[in-house]
Structure 1
């Protein structure tokens, strides 16, 4: 008997599966619900992180919120019974049924059946396990009530058919979320240093920019955005900027080594010049598209202070709260007299703290102390 699944239904299922991997919401519920409806299942459940005695794990199940009860993480729920599940640590990449693992007569007498299967009218279970990066086991389980009947050979073959897609989609989802986490870490670190980042395409048009760059462009203080391109208020410097951008783009297109150029851009407000760097990005022809970034433009405002963590600075160099605060004020460009006024303490007190800080931080000059603070991990928090 063939399954009542046409090409469109199979396409919709795969769309839901890969959609769960690429969606901003890390949730496989839509795919699992789609699969449950297609194959007349009671439940379809994916175990991304295996439950343990101290960890309820990460488990997705099909359907609406009412179905989540089957994956209850409270005492006496699925997590506490997981160790008794006969479908644990299955042969990798194979479809296994409960009947193959445990004879029916033996199963009915088990605590697992009495406490977990019977209360939820579960009579038939099939499952698949696979590995992500050789050490992380991912599992999917399918259940049916007695009235829905046991799994047919055609249905088990269908489960085997989707195994490669399960493996690939879950791996893709994990990798994308890892990349997103790494990107957020880098973005936060750059943000703390008030560096604007703009990416340009092969024509020098703006593709993306971070919040800091957006602020710089919106301020229009010697730098702005016109027709999706970066423009400088000074005509001569604008030509120079365009020249640097075009030279870098041409070098990338001809596979030549592109120079990293920089320039200072005066500001209408009279504040310190923006510092701009044009940095090429390595581009592979076979990966190129209309939205492939070719250049990164970095923008630094020298007048913006770093967000330096007092607590981290204290931990790194065993400084007191007062010492760390003084160190940060000095790193922001204040003189010792200004620090004394800011903290409402005597100048001699500031000098006494400085002597203590020199010893703790292993430096002999104030300039060395400032450099150490600015390059420490405290400035990336």
Structure 2
């Protein structure tokens, strides 16, 4: 389950040093023995301010909020826990060892930067299959002699001056499991019930942060996917704020605007090159901004923008983005401007087009040329093949795709998903 968490949460871009711990607003007692439950309840409920100071708890929460959106902030978050528990290491285990994967760990260690971020021995950890959502120590799982003789201790922990370990497995809403470990050297005292009570106090806060991190990263992945899809289709998207200033643009729009061939950004404002076109564009944007202020009402209008290069006009659609009670303030998305290059050359991934239509490389090359508006003779010349060869390829393409006319072939090819693949 850790593998799924690693894959979905964006920690693949993590570089040391960065990441680590947890917090909460009430003790979790399920699964503890009656004696441990009583001790934990007494420590965590009766005097929570004695477990962690208000100032340190506030520091931890500040880093935890930042860690939701910024992966590198997990390390400062863990550092607060490390200091509070007087440990040498505090670690968040993102992924354990499965198959060929190395376990990924983010560790706080008082400023040390020479830490390993992957634990190849994690599959030997005695905490790997421990009960979820509760803190345990080595002494809860095995005797001191068994711990000293274990491979995990002799081959990994001892080398890093780790003897005392307190750990928990935190389960997020999607079923992913994360490990939270804090450690001390043998010269330090063992973890106490008070330490475990603090861990239980913090755990729900970390779980919530991990859930939020997961949801945020998932949304970012989906948005990125949509952006790549529109870019592949050469649909440019420019988002304007409540003042008509450009907030952002996708790669296709950026490419179009960089041409400065009919459309451009000047002083943060989207403009058309020619005066008549620009007056029309600004009127559409102004109307869309007025509509965006009216909840539930939308406006979509279009125009064409001439290009100094003499190529086919840009097709431009301006659409309002309705606001709600949560989108007040500065720099809120208010207008979307869509731009399409109707005369651009089609360039889908050849391999994907072959797979979709069961064509040979030569047949795919011909189909792409035809989709770009060339005649059969022009396509043959562009591909440096004989006309008879091109005709033979076309007959084969007709047979494989089930079409009978060249215009129909172009239509199904342009409407296919071949354009959505990576080049």
Q: Indicate the residue corresponding to 2:62 in structure 1.
A: 15
More divergent stretch after superposition (128-137 vs 272-281): 128-137
Whole-Å Cα distance in 2 between the matches of residues 213 and 6 of structure 1? Answer: 51
Contact 1:96 1:127 in 2 (8 A): yes
Corresponding position: 1:29 with 2:75: yes
Q: Indicate the residue corresponding to 2:95 in structure 1.
A: 49
TM (norm. structure 2) is 0.79
Shift of 1:53: 4.3
User: Superposed, which structure 2 residues align to 1:211-360 within 5 Å?
Assistant: 211-360=251-400
Whole-Å Cα distance in 2 between the matches of residues 72 and 50 of structure 1? Answer: 8
Contact 2:295 2:322 in 1 (8 A): no
CA distance 1:216–1:110, shift in 2 (3 Å)? closer
Q: Indicate the residue corresponding to 2:115 in structure 1.
A: 67
Structure 1 gap segments, 5+ residues each? none
1:97-119 Cα distance to aligned partner (Å, 9 max, x none): 22223343544454444444445
Whole-Å Cα distance in 1 between the matches of residues 158 and 249 of structure 2? Answer: 56
Shift of 1:90: 3.6
Corresponding position: 1:166 with 2:166: no
Whole-Å Cα distance in 1 between the matches of residues 233 and 346 of structure 2? Answer: 5
CA distance 1:212–1:112, shift in 2 (3 Å)? closer
Q: Which has the higher contact order (CA 8 A, sep 6+)?
A: 2
Shift of 1:120: 4.1
Contact 1:192 1:307 in 2 (8 A): no
Equivalent residues, number: 372
| 1:206 paired residue among 226, 232, 246 | 246
Shift of 1:199: 0.3
Shift of 1:6: 4.3
Task: Please state whether the residue corresponding to 2:280 is helix, strand or coil.
Answer: helix
Task: Please state whether the residue corresponding to 1:66 is helix, strand or coil.
Answer: coil
Whole-Å Cα distance in 1 between the matches of residues 298 and 150 of structure 2? Answer: 70
Contact 1:194 1:306 in 2 (8 A): no
Whole-Å Cα distance in 2 between the matches of residues 53 and 349 of structure 1? Answer: 50
Q: Indicate the residue corresponding to 2:124 in structure 1.
A: 81
More divergent stretch after superposition (262-271 vs 241-250): 241-250
Q: Indicate the residue corresponding to 2:132 in structure 1.
A: 92
Q: Indicate the residue corresponding to 2:8 in structure 1.
A: none
Shift of 1:160: 2.1
1:223-270 Cα distance to aligned partner (Å, 9 max, x none): 233443222234443333233323333333222432321111111222
1:186-241 Cα distance to aligned partner (Å, 9 max, x none): 22222223322110122322211234323433433232334432222344433332
Structure 2 gap segments, 5+ residues each? 1-42, 44-48
Whole-Å Cα distance in 2 between the matches of residues 108 and 3 of structure 1? Answer: 33
Corresponding position: 1:125 with 2:173: no
More divergent stretch after superposition (126-135 vs 4-13): 4-13
CA distance 1:110–1:344, shift in 2 (3 Å)? closer
Shift of 1:163: 1.3
Q: Indicate the residue corresponding to 2:236 in structure 1.
A: 196
Whole-Å Cα distance in 1 between the matches of residues 302 and 359 of structure 2? Answer: 37
Shift of 1:130: 1.6
